[in-house]
A and B are shown apart, each in its own frame.
Chain A
Amino acid sequence: MPVSHRTRQSLRYLPVLPAILLLLVFLAGPVLWAFQASLTNAGLTGRSARNPEWVGLENYQRLLADPAFPLSLALTVLFVGGSAVLGQNLLGLAIAVLMRRARPAVSSLVGTAVVAAWVLPEIVAAFAAYAYFSRDGTLNQLMGGLGLAQADWLYAYPMVAIMLANVWRGTAFSMLVYRAALNDVPAEVTEAAQMDGARGWQRLVFITLPMIRGSIATNLMLITLQTLAVFTLIWVMTAGGPANASTTLPVLAYQEAFKFGDIGYGTAVASVLIIIGGVFGAAYIRLLREPRP
């Protein structure tokens, strides 16, 4: 008997199966498990680890009552807004614009320096940033050399230190995105504006930026998602401290689950983070599906 058209059609898609299985077991599974476990009192050890009990929304109620959570949420917003949306995004754009005006040798040299911080393994970058901001580290040496006041950055200004470190680590991505986007802007357009007497910054703001707004939106979305998930950099530099002064949501989730052994509460924090990531992800996909102007 001949196989029906429908069956043949589905059989052709059989090779997709391993990928789907992996994604279901190791990605969708944990996400669903997180939502479920956040409604229990699952622990790292002991009785609650073997037989977690259903506690309903108790963990989420605790979240709202726990002063550490709003603080952590605010720090996460500050971290993402300051180091990604402002820091990496604007610096990356500035570097990409400057590269088009600078000598090619200079621009490729600086491009390598910026990319180097990005290609290094994250733990190495984190150690380097830790040494740079530590009490007798390079930054204080510089400040001393310039006659400025020194500070114990990692204790007195932990958020400043980790935000600067994240700008250092991640700007390369924005730079690469913007370099590619600027290359796609036809030279005639900016030249025409120049003939009409538009100055450099006017050309940038009124001509170039509107033309690359698709890339700007994509870049903002992706660096937001990447920065939302930053853990290693913060963990090595400050471990969320002093007290909770640099505990962003990933660090909080880790601490609650593994340091204090409260998997249920930790997954509640993680669930909030997953939902935030999901919202941004959905927005990003909407953005991609819309036809480009």
Chain B
Amino acid sequence: MIKPHRWIIAGVMAAVWLVVPVSPVAAADVLTIGFTNSETGALNVDSIGQLNGFKLWRDQVNANGGVHAGSKSYQVNLVTYDDQSKPDRVQQLYGRLILQDNADFLFSPYSSGLTATAAIISEQYGKIMITTGASEDKTYQLGNKYLYEMYTPASAYLTGALDALKTVNPKARIAMAYADDAFAKAVATATRVYAKAIGMDLVFDEAYAPNTTDFGPLINKIISAKADALIGGGHYADGATLARQVYDHKAPLDFVSLLVAPDSPKFATLGEAATNVTAPSQWAPQATFKPDFGPDPKAFGDAYRTAYGSEPSYHAAGGYAAGLILQHAIEQAGTLDQDQVAAKLDQTNIEIFYGHVQFFTDPGRHGLQAGHSMVIVQWQKKGGQLVKEVIWPKAGATAPLAYPLR
């Protein structure tokens, strides 16, 4: 005999089953992509742009029927956690994404340091991870098989800035001040070699702690070195602070090119301090690439502005592009099988709104980006407003380099 309270439980369960609507995502086949993002911590400004890019790709793909693999269509489900910009959180959460959330594929966290940590986990479990916002070359030179990089490697970040500077002042006295983190150090190492190769004079070369807020002492050293150009930086928080204090201290510099920070639309809030500051950028909204797959640059920019009410940064473009490249490889493979999708990623050689994408496939640098190239952008004052223009390479420039800085 069934006790009365069991009847009650059965009745409630039946009512729930009848009343609660079944979500469309649950009914369709689902493609789960896991990643962490830095909603908090030092990297949050850069990371949020990347997250917005992932979300916009998901929304557009799902609205268009999902990712098509063979005879099936998969609705994209993003599973994400806040890593607080901390490697230990990344280590813990990527394990969770794979083992508990059963992620089919992974996107990287933001930054080279966090991605290096996540890559250990993704390789351990043989999961494909498309990296974006992570350009330190070393991570891709460790024999990883399932790691694919969307960004131009760190070694190429400031070479364009040096080339542009050389055209206007080949005798520039350059100061390089950079954050003491994996990404910025990788950039600095390559830049040092490149400056020497093209005969540019590096008169000051020093790292600073990534959480530095008082750049006064460093700026005084740069002035003492009689530098007239500054290159370096790290990520948003330190780069924006450095740019503001260079302005406040009236440092006699004619050229400033900083990593990451000036590319963010938020950088324009620095006002005069942002004027004529340049930055290497993975992508600019003015790009005119003709895509083989996905939206063109204008369509992406318009959709992003509609969704988020701001200009897309290159972090946002990188996030969207990561989704697009994964989608392309899955649709080419016709399956979610990791090895078959990896084989298609190895063969990737296409143009999308973000530019050309191709990966090195030799074991020494497998997954390193081989096809994409960077531009240099500059905040220029036009009609009293700060506008981000592409000033390098000359072939893709939308405005001439404004030189000197002030």
A-B complex is real: no
Name A's B-contacting residues (CB within 8 A).
Answer: none
Interface residues of B (CB under 8 A from A): none
